[in-house]
């Protein structure tokens, strides 16, 4: 069977941006900045994005395009045994996807409530028995998109949702900046306190956030690279995806910090921010209903386009490695995801499913999200940078590129990135054990 290809460069770019821009940008980035010293965080963050995130992205795109295969098929071509690394990468990501879809379901639920004009707090929603239903709905939606294929499914959806997300975000930025006292929040957000830079935990947070936000090291970009034409420059495209991802995080920060200082709430509130703090604010302001609708719709677009990218990597593996076609592969994988994610969905429902006293979703995130992803990223990147001919990768990266940075990228992915990933893993382990 002929491998599908992106129909155009812009289609590929929007799909790449769609994967990168997700909950990590709109929901996670602002509170991570808040918890890590405000403006001071932006410096290690920018360094992490350009020095570690971008090179890893290039490594994945180039490997995918060289081998024209899924993570498993590509790694297998480097060394037969590396097939197992590919399987580990896909398995971890599939578990992450299962609870990512639970959160995407919450967003859809809140959007629906806003449309119906109903005020609901997260606490009361999470106690209802029907809350897992939204998880099922978004899982089916994501699989229907992926079933339609690279062009008609992923690319087409991204072409609609990503630009729409940009417009909604711009509306929210303009509104938030016009609020009274917004500037105090912006000052905290943009003034770096350089003395904080000596705190190593800020650096670990920045590395972790950059990897997650750019979707690097999880095999997605490798899979997306396998659908790429030779004539497209990987360097230019990766730069654009990285810059847009940064821009969306930056704009989300502007929104959250202005609203926070105008209404006097704590940005470091953490995960609760999107589902309880902001809705409370929206309830108080004129046209709040409208703003809340915009906010949840943009969050939904961001989350869904990332979710379909996570689903595609597993589907690509099944298509390449088994005799199943796209329809059957997607159906099989989504059924597995429904089973895996259901306990997570039940943990925030009337049943409040817990394990060792913690909601199942939180435990899944702490193990698979915080450890699993950096660990498989370490395995994936080193098995490419140490075992595939470096000249071949550098050449693939430099093809049609204005800036020939292939060799630098290879150097970084060989020596620096493994150290950084190890550092992220160790700090998380320390945090977990202490
Ligand atoms: N980058 C996505 C976000 O910011 C999350 C993601 C991580 C998607 C890893 C795919 C792979 O939400």
- Domains identified in the chain and CATH numbers: 9-433 (1.20.1740)
Which of 16, 17, 22 to mutate for ligand 1's pocket (most ligand atoms within 8 Å of CB)?
22
Instruction: Determine the Cα–Cα distance for residues 158 and 20; give it in Å rounded to an integer.
Output: 11
Instruction: Determine the Cα–Cα distance for residues 380 and 217; give it in Å rounded to an integer.
Output: 7
Quick one: how many helices (H) and strands (E) in the chain?
23, 2
CB atoms within 10 A of CB 426: 12
Residue 268: what pLDDT? Answer: 67
Helix (H) or strand (E) holding 359: strand 358-359
Ligand 1 centre from 158 Cα, in Å? Answer: 15
Instruction: Determine the Cα–Cα distance for residues 62 and 90; give it in Å rounded to an integer.
Output: 19
Q: What ipTM goes with this model?
A: 0.97
Helix (H) or strand (E) holding 209: helix 200-213
Helix (H) or strand (E) holding 249: helix 234-263
Ligand 1 centre from 91 Cα, in Å? Answer: 15
Instruction: Determine the Cα–Cα distance for residues 421 and 379; give it in Å rounded to an integer.
Output: 10
Nearest atom within ligand 1 for CA of residue 310: 10
Running DSSP on this structure, what letter comes out for residue 64? H
Q: Quick one: tokens of 226?
A: 């396998």
Q: Which residues line ligand 1 (CB under 6 A)?
A: 19-20, 22-25, 212-213, 215, 218, 220, 306, 309-310
Question: Which one, of 430, 420, 365, lies nearest residue 23 by Cα?
Answer: 365
**In degrees, to the nearest 5, what angle opens at C-alpha 207 toward C-alphas 202 and 209?**
90
Running DSSP on this structure, what letter comes out for residue 7? S
Instruction: Determine the Cα–Cα distance for residues 284 and 100; give it in Å rounded to an integer.
Output: 29
- Quote the pTM value: 0.94
Q: Quick one: tokens of 316?
A: 């690509």
Question: Which one, of 17, 67, 13, 58, lies nearest residue 401 by Cα?
Answer: 58
Phi, psi of 354 (to 5 degrees): -130, 160
From first to last of its 434 residues, the chain has per-residue pLDDT tens of 689 999 999 999 999 999 999 999 998 999 889 888 889 999 999 999 999 999 999 999 999 999 999 999 999 999 999 999 999 999 999 999 999 999 999 999 999 999 998 877 888 888 888 989 999 999 999 999 999 999 999 999 999 999 999 999 999 999 999 999 999 999 989 998 888 889 888 999 999 999 999 999 999 999 999 999 999 999 999 999 999 999 999 999 999 999 989 988 877 666 677 787 788 888 888 888 899 999 999 999 999 999 999 999 999 999 999 999 999 999 999 999 999 999 999 998 888 888 888 889 988 988 888 889 999 999 999 999 999 999 999 999 999 998 899 999 999 999 999 999 999 999 888 776 76
Instruction: Spell out a b/e string for 122-131, using b for 16 or more CB atoms within 10 Å of the CB, else e.
Output: beebbeeeeb
Question: Which one, of 206, 298, 205, lies nearest residue 256 by Cα?
Answer: 298
Locus of tokens 């971008």:
54
Residues 6 or more apart in contact with residue 44 via CB below 8 angstroms? 197, 202, 203, 206, 207
Ligand 1 centre from 304 Cα, in Å? Answer: 10
Ligand 1 centre from 264 Cα, in Å? Answer: 30
Q: Quick one: tokens of 59?
A: 């490594």
Q: Quick one: tokens of 319?
A: 């298509």
Give CA separation, 263 vs 90, 213, 280, 287, in Å. Answer: 42, 28, 10, 16
Contact 347, 354 (CB under 8 A): yes
Instruction: Determine the Cα–Cα distance for residues 392 and 382; give it in Å rounded to an integer.
Output: 15
Which of 17, 212, 244, 305 to mutate for ligand 1's pocket (most ligand atoms within 8 Å of CB)?
212
Residue 394: what pLDDT? Answer: 96
Phi, psi of 296 (to 5 degrees): -70, -30
CB atoms within 10 A of CB 293: 18
């Amino acid at each position: 069977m002929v491998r599908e290809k992106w129909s155009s460069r812009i289609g590929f770019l929007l799909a790449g941006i769609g994967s990168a821009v997700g909950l990590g940008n709109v929901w996670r980035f602002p509170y991570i900045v808040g918890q890590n010293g405000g403006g001071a965080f932006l410096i290690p963050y920018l360094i992490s994005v350009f020095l570690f995130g971008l090179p890893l992205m290039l490594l994945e795109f180039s490997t995918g395009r060289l081998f024209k295969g899924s993570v498993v098929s590509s790694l297998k071509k480097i060394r037969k045994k590396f097939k197992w690394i590919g399987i580990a990468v896909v398995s971890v990501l599939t578990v992450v996807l299962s609870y990512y879809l639970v959160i995407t379901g919450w967003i859809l639920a809140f959007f629906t409530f806003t449309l119906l004009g109903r005020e609901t707090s997260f606490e009361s929603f999470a106690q209802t028995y029907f809350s897992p239903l939204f998880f099922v709905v978004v899982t089916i939606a994501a699989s229907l998109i992926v079933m339609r294929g690279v062009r008609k499914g992923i690319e087409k959806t991204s072409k609609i949702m990503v630009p729409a997300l940009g417009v909604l975000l711009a509306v929210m930025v303009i509104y938030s900046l016009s609020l009274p006292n917004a500037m105090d929040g912006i000052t905290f957000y943009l003034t770096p306190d350089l003395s904080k830079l000596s705190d190593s935990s800020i650096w670990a947070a920045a590395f972790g956030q950059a990897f997650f936000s750019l979707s690097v090291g999880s095999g997605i970009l490798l899979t997306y690279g396998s659908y790429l034409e030779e004539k497209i420059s990987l360097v230019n495209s990766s730069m654009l995806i990285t810059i847009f991802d940064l821009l969306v995080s930056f704009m989300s920060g502007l929104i959250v910090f202005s609203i926070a200082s105008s209404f006097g709430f704590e940005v470091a509130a953490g995960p609760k921010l999107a589902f309880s703090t902001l809705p409370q604010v929206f309830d108080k302001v004129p046209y709040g209903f409208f703003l809340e609708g915009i906010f949840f719709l943009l969050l939904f677009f961001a989350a869904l386009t990332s979710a379909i990218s996570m689903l595609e990597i597993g589907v690509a593996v099944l298509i390449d490695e088994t005799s199943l076609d796209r329809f059957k592969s997607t159906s099989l994988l989504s059924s597995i995801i429904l089973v895996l994610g259901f306990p997570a969905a039940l943990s925030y429902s009337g049943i409040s499913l817990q394990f060792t006293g913690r909601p199942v979703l939180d435990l899944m995130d702490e193990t698979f999200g915080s450890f699993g992803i950096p660990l498989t990223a370490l395995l994936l990147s080193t098995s490419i940078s140490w075992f595939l001919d470096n000249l071949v990768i550098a050449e693939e990266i430099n093809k049609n590129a204005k800036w020939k940075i292939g060799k630098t990228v290879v150097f970084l992915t060989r020596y620096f990135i493994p150290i950084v990933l190890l550092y992220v893993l160790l700090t998380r382990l320390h945090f977990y054990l202490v």
